[in-house]
Amino acid sequence: MECIECKGSEANKESGLCDACEQKSMRKINGLLYLPALGLIVTILSFIVGIYSFILTLFNFFNENAFLPNYFIGILTLLISGFIISLYAAWLFFRRKKGTRRAMVIYYIMGLVITLTTTVFPAIAFDMPLNSDSFRELLSGVFSIFVWIPYFIISKRIDVVFCR
């Protein structure tokens, strides 16, 4: 049986690929790694929309009240920092660079910090109710911390894919 990819070498029975094609396949972003890749893309697009709408809100608030509270400036700083971290993590991830593991851990931690600052802190400090969107964001952040961070730290596949 010949390799289904290169059609030149003898294929392994389990995969249908020769040893060289299996090594190429292992170094690709596929399978479970599609989920963090999709998350990075969605996060970057969400940050663009979120920062734009937040700046419009700040501008309207400033026009009405002639001042900006420190909380708003802190949130804007966090959003811009999160956007930069997301861009950096995406750049390392899609270029399959060696520092991807560390960048993704920082990306997930920053996502939880932003979520806590924009949902839990206002609920505690300003007695704002938490709605279903807030709970969904919190669950997403906690899921990232408990599932994706250990995956990026422990998984042997991360070493294979992101070793350049």
Q: Determine the Cα–Cα distance for residues 99 and 109; give it in Å rounded to an integer.
A: 16
Average pLDDT of the chain?
Answer: 88
**Domain extent for 92:** 32-161
Q: If you average pLDDT over residues 76-100, what whole number do you get?
A: 95
Number of domain units in the chain: 1
Whether 152 is covered by a domain: the verdict is yes
Whether 19 is covered by a domain: the verdict is no
Whether 103 is covered by a domain: the verdict is yes
| pLDDT of 107 higher than 90 | yes
Whether 59 is covered by a domain: the verdict is yes
Asked if residues 141 and 111 have their Cβ atoms less than 8 Å apart, the reply is yes
Q: Determine the Cα–Cα distance for residues 97 and 159; give it in Å rounded to an integer.
A: 10
Whether 91 is covered by a domain: the verdict is yes
* Beta-ladder partners of 2: 10
pLDDT computed for residue 42 by the predictor = 96
Whether 138 is covered by a domain: the verdict is yes
Instruction: Give the ranges where the chain is alpha helix by DSSP (H).
Output: 19-26, 34-65, 70-94, 100-115, 121-125, 132-143, 149-154, 156-161
pLDDT computed for residue 96 by the predictor = 87
